Amino acid sequence: MHLRRANLLLAQGRYADAEGFFRQALAEDADDPQILGRFSLCLGCLGKNKEGLDALERAMLRTPDVAQLHAQKALLLADEQQFDDAKKSAQDALRLDPDLALGYAASAEVSAGQHEWKEAENQARQAIEREPGNMLAQNVLSHALLMQGKEVENDTILAARLAEDAENPYTHCNVGRAALRRGDARVAQEHFETALSLDPTIDEAREGLLDAFRLRSSLYRGFLAFSFFVARFSNGGRLMLVFGFLLGYHLLYRMFAHIAPMLGLGLALCYFLFVLWSFVGRGLGTLIVLTDRSARNALKPNELREGILGGGSLAAGFCIAVVGIASANLNLALFGGALAGCSLPLAALFRNLHPKGGLIYPAIAAIAVVGTLVLFVEVLAPEWFHPMVTALAPIVVALTIAVTSWFVNLGVWFESR
């Protein structure tokens, strides 16, 4: 009875309610692979990936040759950014059942996570060929087509899907995403609002709606266009792009550092924005959203704080640094650069979900803020601090930025919201 009730709630999208009934069913039979498999699916929908993987492992001990379980495991691992293990699980699923639509959909999701867009497109088409209504495969196909610049084909497919089922919230999300890509904020907003009216639990639609609000700013339109451009590259291609800019930056910096130190500082600030823009840009976009009363209501508390503190420090710091460079005031330029740099540890602080990260990232942000305050005092009252202290302050802030970027990229106690 508990399992039937849990499955019904799962089908209705009431995942939190379904979780309770699955737990009651497991209390009666803790090792039933069918219950564990469905329970894992429910946990994945709730974002409890680690617990979901635990349940799957227990199910696979009893039934190691069930392809569906391997496909589910691939999806959970992909959501955890463990793409190598996810790819192996997807391959195991297709080895056990070469016609499993979920296996191809999981493979497509893994390829999309690795920015292998052509492969993701092919695998999504294979899944849809076997199961035309597979929503995961349809979503991945739409994303893969967009990332390859096949916008006309994607629009045609989405128009056909809307004609078949205008009440599907995920189709409206995909249409909204395509509109974002074109820079059409009005159409994007309409479709994301429709998706949320059909299913208020879809976080992708809420985030898309916020992006539609942010898109009203020409600055954010540039950021989004840049993000789409970079996302088209594979992981290896993006690495080469970053290394290319790094080499160019070092050559220019060495050229100007002695001739025009202020220009060298400006180049360093621009390179910081290029490398870390995808992480700190959202806070700036959220700051823009705060100017719209209706848009503010869509923000979560952490997003609000990220916009005010993270976006605010980036915008104010960049402007102050530009003024300092233009006026040849080194102390002012250093303070502005440090204030802009604080946006990275602040973004990591507000965006992190990892429980242990609640200790390390606030500490890093606090160190960055203290270093920035020292530089601020240096602008107003240079005699307050010993020259050694003020000389160390920008180095300390730079180290907090470097440590944060390393920790975030390596996943050290960090899980992005």
State residue 241's pLDDT score.
Answer: 67
pLDDT, tens digit, 9 for 90 and up, residues 39-95: 999 999 888 999 999 999 999 999 999 999 999 999 999 998 899 999 999 999 999
State residue 34's pLDDT score.
Answer: 93
State residue 407's pLDDT score.
Answer: 85
**Distance in angstroms (rounded) separating the CA atoms of residues 49 and 79:** 8
State residue 297's pLDDT score.
Answer: 76
| Largest pairwise CA distance in the chain | 78
Domain limits of the chain?
271-410
Of 346, 354, 326, 327, the C-alpha closest to 397 is 346
State residue 387's pLDDT score.
Answer: 85
**Distance in angstroms (rounded) separating the CA atoms of residues 38 and 55:** 9
DSSP-assigned letters across all residues of 7-48: HHHHHTT-HHHHHHHHHHHHHH-TT-HHHHHHHHHHHHHTT-
Token readout for 318 is 């960049």
**Distance in angstroms (rounded) separating the CA atoms of residues 106 and 129:** 14
Specify burial of residue 233 (Cβ count, 10 A radius: 0-12, 13-18, 19+). Answer: middle
Q: Which amino acid is it at 83?
A: F
pLDDT below 70 — which residues of the chain? 219, 231, 233-239, 241-243, 245-246, 249-250, 252-253, 256-262, 264-265, 267-269, 271-278, 294, 409, 417
